[in-house]
Amino acid sequence: MKELTARTALVTGASGGIGRAICLAFADAGAAVVASGRQTGPLRQLVSDLHAKGVRALAIPTDLAQRTAANGLIERTERTFGVIDILVNNAGVEQPAAFIDTTPGEIRGMVEVNLTAAMLLTRAVLPGMLDRGRGHIVFVSSGLAKMGSAYQAPYCATKAGLIALTHALRAEYRHTRIGFSVVCPGLVTGAGMYQRMLDDGFSANPVLGTTTTTRVARKVLAAIRHDRAEIHSTGTPVRPLAAVLQLQPRLTEIVTTRTGMTDLFRRVAASRAGTKNA
**What structural domains and CATH numbers belong to the chain?**
8-277 (3.40.50.720)
Task: Point out the residues that are catalytic.
Answer: 155
Query: SS3 for 108-153, per residue?
Result: HHHHHHHHHHHHHHHHHHHHHHHHHCCEEEEEECCCHHHHCCCCCH
pLDDT value at residue 244:
78
Provide block-wise average pLDDT over 10 residues at a time, the chain (278 residues). Answer: 90 95 98 97 97 96 93 95 97 94 96 97 97 98 90 97 98 98 94 90 90 96 97 75 76 85 93 69
The residue type at 153: A
Residue 181 pLDDT: 98
Instruction: Report the pLDDT value the prediction gives residue 106, as an integer from 0 to 100.
Output: 96
107-139: pLDDT as tens digits: 999 999 999 999 999 999 999 999 999 999 999
111 contacts 67 by C-beta, under 8 angstroms: no
pTM of the model: 0.93
- The secondary structure of 245-263 as a DSSP string is HHH-GGGHHHHHHHTTHHH
